[in-house]
Every structure is written in C-alpha cells, then in structure tokens.
C-alpha cells in the first residue's frame, strides 16, 4: 500500500535539505499546473518559463530559416539564466521546463524541419553542450508523458489563442523527440508520469499519488513505477 504525505518532512529527513526538481513534457501536458500544485503541497518555490519577450520572434515567424538560430540562442540564454537562478536559490525549487528541452526538443525540431543550417546547428549544439557540462543538474526530472489526444484535450481546455492552430502532427513529432531524449537522459533520476491516466486537476488524489512517487525517487528508491492497479485505486 502506498503511503501518501502532505508535506516535505520525509524528503528533508532524507539528508540534504534543498532539492531541485524539473518538470518536463510536451505542450499542453500540464507542466505549469503540476509545478504550482506540488509547490503548494510542499511549500517549495516554483520557477516558471522566462517571461522575456524574444526580440527575434516576429522575424522568426516571417522567416524561420533566416532567424531560427538567433531566436533559439535568445531562448537558450534566458533558460541558462533561469537555471542559474534556480541553482542559487536557497530553498527547494521546482522548475517548469528545463534548459535541456530547449536544445534537445525545440532546437532539434527546427533542425529536422530544415530551419537550421548544418553550420548553425553545429554551433548551437557546441554552445549548448559546453554550457550544460558546467550546469548542476536537477535532483530529479519529472517527465509527463501523454498521447496526442490527451494533449489536444488539455490544450482545448485551457483555450489559449496561439495554441488553437497547433497541428496534431507537430505534437506527435515533439512527442517522438521527447521520448528519444528522456530514454537517453542520464544526468539525474527520472520519474515518468503516465499523464493519460492521471488528471491531477480533476482528481486531487492523483496528485497524492504523484507526490508519493516523487518522494520515493528523492529518497533514493531506484525503481519507481505507476502500476495499473495502483492508479485504478484513485
């Protein structure tokens, strides 16, 4: 039987007080919502995506090939700054989307779509890998895995104008990039959450289950899974 918890005492008692979690996943999967709910539960500090307006964005949408490199360098720079703020924050934190996703998912997608030249992509990767080598990784990545139908349902539910026209094929391609990235990610432990089966907004006890699994990973348990019979109890 899984024991639920309502605060951060179990994690704090495990040793090091400060923890750093990054929540990863595709567009619309519910990263920001989970960050907010877990931070409220644990009393930790949330860090959301940078709000700075990308000065290259308008040009990028006009000509993605000409401005893709500039736009992604801007995003990478601001994500690096946020990562540094997270690392130096004195208390435990949960970050909405990691610096790794900028490079491994979104910049890689632009390259695959032909919007990065080979030269620009090589330069971008060299810069990213040089920076990542010196960045302290999170203590845990929580990866929210969801199918395209679930993503589309949640995107429709939150009803953001700029997301309404996102094609399902684009989300499917990003899913494939996410799966490839997470299967090869070794910088820290990963907790994969089956978001198709867990709706922590509609069902608060789904949040209880996720929180207990986060605790298991942060306190050193090697294999942590969401069993089908376990999820059906909620």
Catalytic positions? 96
- CA distances to 103, 104, 145, 208 from 169, in Å: 20, 18, 16, 33
For 79, 182, 194, 205, 230, the CA distances from 198, given in Å and listed in that order, are: 28, 19, 6, 9, 11
CA 97, CA 82: separation in Å to the nearest integer?
Answer: 11
| The CA-based dihedral angle spanning residues 91, 48, 104, 29, taken in that order and rounded to the nearest 10 degrees | 120
Report the candidate in 155, 181, 163 with the shortest Cα–Cα distance to residue 101. 181
Alpha carbon of residue 190 to chain centroid: 11
In sign, the C-alpha dihedral spanning 75, 76, 82, 83 is positive
Query: For residues 55 and 78, what is the distance between their CA atoms, to the nearest angstrom?
Result: 12
Instruction: Using DSSP, state whether 26 is helix, strand or coil.
Output: coil
Indicate the helix (H) or strand (E) that contains 42. Answer: helix 31-42
- Cα-based angle 194, 150, 192 (whole degrees, multiple of 5): 20
Whole-number Å distance between alpha carbons of 230 and 234:
8
């Amino acid at each position: 039987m899984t024991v639920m918890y309502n605060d951060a005492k179990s994690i704090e008692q495990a040793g090091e007080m400060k923890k750093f979690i990054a929540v990863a996943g595709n567009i619309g999967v519910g990263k920001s919502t989970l960050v907010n709910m877990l931070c409220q539960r644990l009393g930790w500090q949330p860090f959301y995506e940078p709000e700075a307006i990308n000065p290259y964005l308008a040009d990028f949408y006009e000509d993605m090939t000409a401005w893709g490199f500039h736009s992604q360098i801007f995003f990478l720079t601001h994500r690096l700054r946020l990562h540094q703020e997270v690392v130096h924050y004195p208390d435990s934190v949960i970050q909405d989307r990691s610096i790794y996703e900028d490079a491994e998912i979104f910049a890689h997608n632009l390259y695959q779509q032909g919007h990065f030249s080979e030269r620009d992509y090589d330069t971008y990767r060299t810069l990213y890998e040089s920076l990542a080598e010196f960045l302290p990784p999170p203590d845990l990545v929580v990866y929210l895995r969801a199918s395209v139908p679930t993503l589309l349902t949640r995107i429709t539910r939150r009803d953001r104008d700029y997301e309404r026209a996102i094609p399902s094929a684009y989300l499917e391609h990003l899913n494939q990039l996410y799966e490839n990235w997470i299967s090869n990610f070794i910088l820290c432990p990963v907790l994969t959450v089956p978001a198709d089966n867990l709706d922590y907004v509609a069902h608060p006890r789904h949040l209880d289950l996720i929180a207990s699994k986060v605790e298991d990973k942060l306190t050193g348990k090697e294999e942590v899974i969401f069993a089908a019979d376990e999820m059906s109890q909620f």
